[in-house]
Every structure is written in C-alpha cells, then in structure tokens.
Amino acid sequence: MKNAYDIIIRPVMTEKTAGLMEEGKVVFRVQKGATKHDVREAVESLFNVNVVAVNTMRHPGRAKRFGKFSGWRNGYKKAVITLAPGEAIDLFAMEGPGEAGEE
C-alpha cells in the first residue's frame, strides 16, 4: 500500500454528502489508481474507524471552452466510505488554520 496521505486527496463537502454523513457515509476524492482495498486501509489508518464498505466512482474529464480556446477539465475518482454503526469522522476538525475563516 502507498502512503495513506497520497491515497486520500480531500473530503468532498456538498449538500448531498452532508446528507450521506447522517447515514454513516463519508465521501473522499482519492487517487485515480487507488483500489477499494487501498482506500479502506488508508481510511482505517488515518481516522481509526471500522470501514464496512467502499464504493468508488470514476468521473471522466469534460470538455470546457475558455473563450475561443477549448480544453479539458481533469477527471477524478471518488470513494463513498460506509462506516460501522456508531462510528463517525469529523471532517470539520480536519481543517487547518485559515481554512475555516480563522486568521
């Protein structure tokens, strides 16, 4: 397994993922080459929680126009982590100084 910090890129914070957090699920953007087994080990080692299931999704890059120029947005991979009942990950505690409006 690679370094856990290399596999987990960042948490995905949207309205939909906030609803999933109430169901005991957390969403992370992960490295494109990471397998479900790699993601499970990384989350368990970083957050000291028991992972029940890992579901991954690949999102391909999309075409985007910038004025008269056309290009591509980067694709990415995300993982939905289902935690054991009674366990949770506090993603807001992960923010460093200056990220949550602190100065």
Predicted confidence pLDDT, tens digits, the chain (103 residues): 579 999 999 999 999 999 999 999 999 999 999 999 999 999 999 999 999 999 999 999 999 998 999 999 999 999 999 999 999 888 777 655 555 544 4
| Reported pTM | 0.81
**Residue-level pLDDT at 55:** 97
Instruction: Calculate the alpha carbon distances from 79 to 1, 90, 95 in Å.
Output: 17, 17, 20
**Residue-level pLDDT at 96:** 55
Tokens for 17, please give them: 């993922």
Beta strands (DSSP E) in 3-103 are 8-11, 25-30, 51-59, 63-66, 69-72, 76-83
The CATH class that applies to domain 4-85 reads alpha beta
Domain regions of the chain by residue span: 4-85
**CB-based contact 11:91 (threshold 8 Å):** yes
